[in-house]
């Protein structure tokens, strides 16, 4: 076999070894696309998740009214936290603690305060996000190797975007004169589709690859005990500052609605979407939500007895680096602007998945044909070498 033929064989082996990598990229893209709308799929499948109105003119209950309704149904239960999803058609998620030691997350109707069902510990939403994010590999000591494996794919995806733009000369013409030839065979169709989908998905591929790479950096920083967060550590309320209604019994906390009003005054434009109630007599009430910038949450830690704000973490408190890094996750998942943003992310996720699939089809067909031609050339060359060897032997014997 000539040196050129051996090089061709090694190149083909290298090409075939790339198949598992890009097949893995395809699976990650498909599972990520499902993860974007996983919450909506759960909503379709499980009526308990829906915020059904008892009447057309029904209004949302305040957080105090929701807790009062829960207490009427379950007098001995302790409400630990409440979370209101961005979309109004979802029920509230409420964490409850029971005297027997059980801790459950339940779905509560935001119009009636009725407990509609219990959230499973690992539902379809959690499954798709865990499968996409870290391939279900458990976290034992820091980030799992599955997280590293998936987040590493951000690098080849980013390189593929850059090299694709370099290879496809004058790619911007695809915006003005899109070409998709349907009647010229599968090879032409998938080639046109791959180029066209890549052009129209440039912004999305850049967002997904850059944010995916950030997840890799985030894991490395965390596992090496390096933090860039400026969020303050809030000290507990000292014993002498806890008011008592009677010996050994702390005074009741202020109404949640009043605490939200205090937080809103401190954080203009705040939409309180989650509340963590004090876990002990010395803990603060935590209120958080989005403001004018939808990619980041702002929080306030409030003294539950007098309404004093002990600490807050606002947009103005973040450094420039934090402003960028904390925006990465919602940009990656599309979870920051309601159902319409999710549908945009879902659509382009499908396009990206199909683009990877079309690239695999083009590549595998080309590599398979090249392998077939190489095998045929070797088969033809092999018989020719035998007579030459026999001739040399006979001449030597003479």
DSSP state of 86: S
Q: What is the mean pLDDT of residues 198-203?
A: 92
b/e string for 23-43 if b means 16 or more Cβ within 10 A? eebbbbbbbbbbbbbbbbebb
b/e string for 134-161 if b means 16 or more Cβ within 10 A? bbebeeeeebbebbbebbebbeebbebb
- The bridge status of strand 92-97 relative to strand 103-108 is antiparallel
pLDDT above 60 (res 170) = yes
Per DSSP, what are the bridge partners of residue 115? 108
Number of Cβ atoms within 10 Å of the Cβ of 215: 21
Render pLDDT for 20-65 as a digit per residue (tens, 0 to 9): 788 898 999 999 999 999 999 999 999 999 999 999 899 999 999 9
Taken as a whole, the chain contains a residue count of 398
**pLDDT, position 167:** 77
Note whether 52 and 389 are within 8 A (CB). Answer: no
pTM of this structure:
0.85
CA dist 87 to 63, 142, 180, Å?
Answer: 17, 33, 37
**What does the block give as tokens for 101?**
């030691």
Render pLDDT for 243-296 as a digit per residue (tens, 0 to 9): 998 888 899 999 999 999 999 998 988 889 999 999 999 999 999 999 889 999
**pLDDT, position 1:** 52
Note whether 204 and 352 are within 8 A (CB). Answer: yes
Per DSSP, what are the bridge partners of residue 104? 96
Q: What is the mean pLDDT of residues 342-363?
A: 91
Render pLDDT for 57-103 as a digit per residue (tens, 0 to 9): 999 999 999 999 999 999 999 999 999 998 889 999 999 999 999 99
As a whole number of angstroms, the distance between CA 352 and CA 251 comes to 56
pLDDT above 90 (res 360) = no
Residues 6+ apart with CB under 8 A from 325: 214, 218, 228
User: Given CA atoms 259, 56, 117, 74 in this order, what sign does their dihedral have?
Assistant: positive
């Amino acid at each position: 076999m000539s040196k050129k033929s051996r090089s061709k064989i090694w190149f083909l082996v290298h090409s075939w070894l790339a198949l598992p990598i890009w097949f893995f990229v395809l699976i990650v893209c498909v599972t990520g696309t499902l993860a974007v709308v996983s919450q909506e799929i759960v909503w379709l499948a499980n009526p308990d998740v829906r915020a059904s109105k008892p009447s057309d003119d029904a209004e949302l209950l305040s957080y105090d009214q929701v807790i009062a309704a829960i207490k009427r149904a379950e007098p001995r239960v302790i409400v630990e936290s409440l979370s209101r999803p961005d979309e109004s058609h979802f029920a509230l998620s409420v964490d409850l603690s029971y005297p027997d030691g059980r801790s459950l997350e339940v779905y509560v109707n935001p119009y009636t305060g009725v407990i509609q069902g219990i959230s499973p510990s690992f539902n379809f939403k959690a499954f798709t996000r865990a499968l996409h994010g870290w391939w279900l590999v458990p976290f034992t000591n820091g980030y799992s190797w599955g997280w590293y494996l998936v987040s590493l794919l951000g690098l080849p995806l980013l390189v593929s975007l850059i090299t694709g733009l370099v290879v496809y000369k004058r790619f911007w013409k695809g915006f003005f004169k899109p070409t998709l030839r349907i009647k010229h065979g599968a090879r032409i169709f998938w080639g046109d589709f791959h180029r066209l989908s890549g052009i129209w998905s440039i912004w999305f591929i850049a967002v997904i690859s850059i944010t995916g790479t950030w997840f890799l950096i985030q894991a490395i920083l965390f596992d090496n005990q390096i933090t860039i967060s400026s969020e303050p550590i809030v000290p507990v309320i000292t014993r002498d500052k806890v008011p008592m209604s009677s010996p050994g019994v702390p005074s009741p906390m202020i109404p949640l609605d009043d605490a939200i009003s205090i937080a809103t005054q401190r954080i203009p434009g705040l939409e309180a979407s989650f509340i963590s109630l004090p876990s002990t007599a010395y803990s603060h009430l935590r209120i958080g939500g989005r403001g004018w910038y939808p990619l980041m949450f702002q929080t306030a830690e409030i003294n539950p007895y007098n309404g004093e704000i002990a600490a807050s973490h606002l947009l103005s408190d973040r450094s420039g680096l934090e402003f960028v890094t904390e925006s990465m996750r919602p940009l990656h998942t599309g979870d920051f602007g309601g159902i319409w943003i999710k549908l945009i992310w879902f659509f382009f996720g499908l396009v990206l998945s199909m683009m990877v699939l079309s690239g695999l089809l083009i590549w595998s067909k080309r590599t398979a044909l090249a392998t077939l031609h190489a095998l045929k050339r070797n088969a033809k060359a092999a018989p020719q070498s035998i007579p030459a060897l026999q001739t040399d032997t006979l001449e030597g014997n003479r």
